[in-house]
Chain A
Amino acid sequence: MNTRDKTYSAARMNEAMLSSMQPPTLRWYLLALVLGAVVAVGLYAFTVQLTTGMVVTGINRPVMWGLYIISFVFWVGLSHSGTMVSAILRLSQASWRRPILRGAEAMTVFSIAVAGLFPLIHLGRNWIFYYLIPYPSQYGLWPNFRSPLLFDMVAINTYIIGSGIFLYIGMLPDLALVRDRSTGWRRKIYGLLAIGWRGTAEQWRVFSRGSTLLACLIIPVAVSVHSIVAWDFAVTLVPGWHSTIFAPYFVIGAITSGVAAVITLMIVIRKAFKLEEFLLPLHFDNMSKLLLAVCLLWSYFYFAEVFTTWYGHKPIEWEWFSYMHDHYGLALFIMILGNTIVPIVGLCFRRVRRSTAALLGITLLVNVAMFIERFLIVVPSLSHKNIPFIWGSYTPSWVEMSIALAAFALFFLLYTLFTKFFPILAITDVREQEEALIGQQQLGRARVETLVNEE
């Protein structure tokens, strides 16, 4: 960044970084329309399920959980991006995170919101989902706090609220900036959202303290959320699920898919809003190194899990394992290819780490592989449980597939809307770093003489 001209004005920078918020073009409307249409198809499919029953899904006995739970685990995994990129890198003072963090935090909020829909869609009687909420009822009935599904309910809600606050607080100075640059009713709304941010030294001090504290608090939440999702499986007696390694393994898997998805989104945002001057090869390089590290960890965990199963050769464990091997050989191969072989080999090379085209391919492949991984965790184990008489298989129906697809469309739709209404780059964070070289700061309306440093 220091190659850039020092006289490059702050106003011009704001302009460039707020480019995503310009009035929508026809292309944007078209995109929103297509995404909206896919969501509508998903809604229709859900209506069919709601009015007919779970018979329209591919669920059966013994495979009582299917694509909905797989999607749930996948989206919870994606939601670990923001925490990882924003909170952990903030605490480790990696200043290259700055242009990436907003995009990652927004991704966290939207993917956990999408994830939260799946357990509700998956219920046999969706209309009484509130039985899971501990509310004071006339019957004096409480939900069962021993059930991992209730841990889930609490964890997901905590994470939605926590990551929402994390995103919002981090965005405050930028909202003030948008407020100062907008007019009319927009100014009023952004004014409300900016809750009186003036950019005084005191405000910055509180802001910086608060952000660090939030970063510290959100990390244990994120780790616990995916551990709890893992325990949905690990606490059961189902062969193949009942494994102590599941919680850390799921957390690493979540970070793997989260980091990969952040890179994918960075590439898309950079291209769509022409942010080449802010998202530099350095950022992609560093994120790729992170991805390389978590892919190595994931492979280690997977190997540890599979190796002990294979070596122990307990008949009941071996049954689901060989079933998976025989029936999902291709999927297994794609998973190993996408999570281990391609990223670990590819990301060792600096040229690959700095090439957006190569990275786009690799990161998409990682997430395809992660989706397959979740499928291979849920389905083969359930298909061949303890009782051979009730062995079965599972193929998702069009209803399940439409809803799973609609979830992707919903996520992108929310994301596109977000980029239109909120600054997708953390402007003040980026400028903080930029102007550290110049030694002065123009923030909001106030001029702060002292340098607001990292934490």
Chain B
Amino acid sequence: MTTEAKDIRWGMVIDLDRCTGCGACVTACQAENNIALTDQQGFAQGRNLQWLRIERYWEGEFPHVRARFLPMLCQHCDDAPCEPVCPVYASYHTAEGLNGQVYNRCVGTRYCANNCPYAVRVFNFTDPSWPEPLEQQLSPDITVRSRGVMEKCSFCIQRIRRGKEEAKLENRGLRDGEVQPACAQTCPPGAISFGNLDDPNSRVARMARSPRRFRLFEDLGTEPSVIYLKGGGHEHPG
């Protein structure tokens, strides 16, 4: 099962029945993408830089409560509201359906963040910092963003690039599942799948045909590339 680069449309399927809300994906994302750490105060002020977060919602009244988890990341919308409003093309659409962000083009109007209904865009309020020795583990593949720019989930574009380069060296197309973002790779129960939605035989395309599928704020017409599979079917109450 191989695909050519010209008909790639990257997408993600998140099975909410499998998500336990453990937060491993959040940590993996933070480590993979050189995301600066935010202290407790920064979190309280809404200035954390997580590209991926687990949203926890409570259902029911005590003692019959249950937690619902919703991993939330950039939805890489096909018709992304953040893109047209950027005055400098820092937010743009790639041919493979990714919603790109050019850090050194961004002037920091924060308009994209206002217009994002999913609130997944984060802003560098200060220069990035890491407590020792974490500054030693920065990935050389990724820019360290300066203060004043927007950033967000890139579907681990550096892994996509590497995967494509390796495939090209071996003179073949990308295999399904060959490229995995850090969150999908880490997820212990395997709730996150990543792949090419344009390939009807790929894992994500097959999962996306599930009757449990839904996308967030479908009514806004943003056409997200992240597809959720409805959960809650097998949970035990309480």
Residues of A within 8 A of B (CB): 52-55, 59-65, 119, 122-126, 128-129, 131-132, 141, 143-144, 146-150, 153, 232, 235-238, 382, 385-390, 392
Question: Residue B108 contacts which of A124, A144, A148, A382 (CB distance < 8 angstroms)?
Answer: A124
Question: Residue B122 contacts which of A59, A61, A129 (CB distance < 8 angstroms)?
Answer: A61
- Alpha-carbon separation in the docked complex, A126 to B110 (Å): 13
Interface code B86-114, partner A: CB below 8 Å = 1, 0 otherwise? 11110000000000000001111111011
- Alpha-carbon separation in the docked complex, A143 to B84 (Å): 11
A61-B115 contact in complex given A143-B89, A144-B84, C-beta closer than 8 Å: no
Q: Nearest CB to that of B53 among chain A residues? A: A389
Q: Which of B124-132, B133-141, B188-196 participates in binding chain A? A: B124-132
Contact B115 A237 (CB under 8 A): yes
Interface code B215-229, partner A: CB below 8 Å = 1, 0 otherwise? 001001010000000
Contact A236 B114 (CB under 8 A): yes
A238-B115 contact in complex given A124-B147, A132-B87, C-beta closer than 8 Å: yes
Number of interface residues of B (CB under 8 A): 44
- Alpha-carbon separation in the docked complex, A59 to B122 (Å): 12
Residues of chain B with a CB closer than 8 A to A392's CB: 46
Residues of chain A with a CB closer than 8 A to B214's CB: none
Contact B108 A62 (CB under 8 A): no
Contact A386 B87 (CB under 8 A): no
Asked whether any CB of chain A lies closer than 8 Å to the CB of B173, the reply is no
Closest chain-A Cβ to B5's Cβ sits at a distance in Å of 24
Contact A53 B89 (CB under 8 A): no
Residues of chain B with a CB closer than 8 A to A123's CB: 107-109, 148
Most A Cβ at <10 Å: residue of B70, B117, B127? B117
Asked whether any CB of chain A lies closer than 8 Å to the CB of B40, the reply is no
A60-B107 contact in complex given A124-B124, A144-B87, C-beta closer than 8 Å: no
Contact B107 A128 (CB under 8 A): yes
Most A Cβ at <10 Å: residue of B45, B70, B107, B124? B107
Asked whether any CB of chain A lies closer than 8 Å to the CB of B205, the reply is no
Residues of chain A with a CB closer than 8 A to B142's CB: none
Residues of chain A with a CB closer than 8 A to B62's CB: none
Per CB-CB distance, the 3 closest pairs between chain A and chain B, nearest first, are: A124-B108, A124-B148, A60-B46
